[in-house]
């Protein structure tokens, strides 16, 4: 149980384009979903927290207009990186939370050329 999927697993895009990443909780309803980014050899950095049907709460320093988060249902959240630039290249990981614990997706490797 508690399986979280992410799609795509990796994406390469040109600078200036937008990229959408999906996060799904497959076997449970997630009241809250979280989006992280991780740079090589570093820990996970929380970007934003989203609750179904409401606006996401962004961490300090994360641009909400650049990283659009939609949490349309209890099993799906999306992160859209708008007008991507090479410095946005990173490993993006989502997690879904039941009442107690966060379960992580497998991550999406974004490379912006």
Write the DSSP assignment of the chain as a string of letters: ---EEEE-SEEEE-TT--EEEEEEESSS--SEEEEEEE-TTS--EEEEEEETTSPPEEPTT--TTTEEEEEEETTEEEEEE-S--GGG-EEEEEEEE-SS-EEE---EEEEE-
Binding mask 20-49 for another protein (x = CB under 8 A): ------------x-x------xxxxxx--x
Binding string to another protein for residues 78 to 97, with x set by CB under 8 A, is what? Answer: -------------x-x-x-x
Asked if 102 is part of the footprint of another protein (rule: CB under 8 A), the reply reads: yes
54 contacts another protein (rule: CB under 8 A): no
The residue (of 13 and 46) whose beta carbon lies closer to another protein is: 46
User: Does residue 101 touch another protein according to CB under 8 A?
Assistant: yes
| Residue 70 contacts another protein per CB under 8 A | no
Closer CB to another protein, 42 or 83, in the complex: 42
Nearest-5° Cα angle at 51, 93 to 67 = 50
Q: Is 8 in the site for another protein (CB under 8 A)?
A: no
């Amino acid at each position: 149980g508690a399986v979280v999927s992410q799609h795509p697993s990796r994406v390469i895009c040109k600078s200036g384009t937008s990229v959408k990443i999906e996060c799904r909780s497959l076997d449970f309803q997630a009241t809250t979903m979280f989006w992280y980014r991780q740079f090589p050899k570093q820990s996970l950095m929380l970007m934003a927290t989203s609750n179904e049907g409401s606006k996401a709460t962004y961490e300090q320093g994360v641009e909400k207009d650049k990283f659009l988060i939609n949490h349309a249902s209890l099993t799906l959240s999306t992160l859209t990186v708008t007008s991507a630039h090479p410095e946005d290249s990173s490993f993006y990981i989502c997690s879904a939370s039941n009442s107690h614990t966060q379960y992580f997706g497998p991550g999406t490797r974004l490379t912006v050329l």
